[in-house]
Amino acid sequence: MAVLRCRMLHLTLRQLQVFEMTARHLSHTVAAKELYLSQPAVSMQLKQLEQNIGLPLFEQVGKQLHLTAAGRELLHYSRSILQQVQEMDAVFAEMKGLERGQLNIAVVSTANYFMPQLLAKFIRLHPRINVSLSVANRDTVIRQLADNTADLAIMGQPPEGAEMVSQAFMENPLVVIAAPDHPLAKQKKIQPRQLAKETFLLREQGSGTRGVVERFFASHRLPLPAHMEMDTNEAIKQSVSAHIGIGIISRHGIELELETHRLCILAVDGFPIVRNWHIVQRKNQRLSIAAHAFHLFLLEAAAQLAAPATPRKAYRK
């Protein structure tokens, strides 16, 4: 009877952890800092890992570090393995009656206006859970989910495709904003064709808000107005306040500006356009105890932060 023999890779979790951190930042120095190790210690762990595998994992081109084909394969497996170990640790902690663990949340920039309030409440309820919050643009947040560096993500427009699943948990009303002394500010019912004559300050192509603006004008058979692209909502708010143009933004992101009368909401027919905030995770992902607790918490607590009631004729998209 033939005996199936296989070559066992003698890898350690520490080596995989060092490799994953180095691959994430493509820097020995940053990895050493993040892991509280010396740079020689990082280099030694990576050298031992390459010797065990028998293939180079990184290549140096000039001053830039790059992953090899073997490195890209190992990155996929190492993230999966480290995630499994983290989940196992959380399960055993729960069996011991301990509530602890690591929770990594990634949110798009607009969600950062309300997410700290929710996180503060969650941390008060679960003080032994270590929470990490990453704020980035939509593409980066999706990549963090795909790379397994975020447990959950919060965004307005969930990604398409079979790799992710999402659940709506709170309304996200989009409103048209202008400087308080803008000529349209005192009008009661502004028509879409009036907006078509204005200069718009828009987010970049591919953003959820940008898509809403494009569909709104297309639904009224109007061309997209003259516009300027900006990569942050803060830039849009500052530019609208400076009379450069008008914008469309989440109601959640302008509370302070409304209170201080730096911005106003225009009474445009068909607005607010009501979308939703979504909790997004990888499909078939087994959430850690901490991530599962936060998921349930969001569904229960988000209603308290809902924006002011929107008119019945508000357009839903």
The one-letter amino acid code at 144 reads Q
Please report the pLDDT score of residue 237 as a whole number.
Answer: 93
Tell me the two tokens of residue 219.
């639904």
Q: How many CB atoms lie within 10 A of CB 46?
A: 20
What secondary structure letter does DSSP report for 150? -
What secondary structure letter does DSSP report for 190? B
Q: Under CATH, which architecture does the 172-274 domain have?
A: 3-Layer(aba) Sandwich (3.40)
What are the residue boundaries of the structural domains of the chain, listed by start? 7-98, 99-170+276-316, 172-274
Q: Which residues contact 177 (CB under 8 A, 6 or more apart)?
A: 237, 240, 246, 247, 248, 249, 254, 257, 263, 264, 265, 266
Q: Which residues contact 127 (CB under 8 A, 6 or more apart)?
A: none
Distance CA 14, CA 132 (A): 21
State pLDDT tens for residues 104-147: 999 988 888 888 888 999 999 888 888 999 998 888 899 898 88
Superfamily, domain 99-170+276-316: Periplasmic binding protein-like II (3.40.190.10)
Domain 7-98 is found in CATH 1.10.10.10? yes
What secondary structure letter does DSSP report for 305? G
Distance CA 196, CA 226 (A): 8
Query: Which is it for strands 264-265 and 246-250: parallel, antiparallel or unpaired?
Result: unpaired
Full-prediction pTM beyond 0.85? no
The DSSP code sequence of 27-54 is -HHHHHHHHT--HHHHHHHHHHHHHHHT
99-170+276-316 and 172-274: same fold?
Answer: yes
State pLDDT tens for residues 249-308: 988 889 889 999 999 999 999 899 988 899 999 988 878 888 888 998 998 877 665 544
Q: Kindly indicate the confidence band of residue 316, based on its pLDDT and cuts at 50, 70 and 90.
A: very low
**pLDDT surpassing 80 at residue 152:** yes
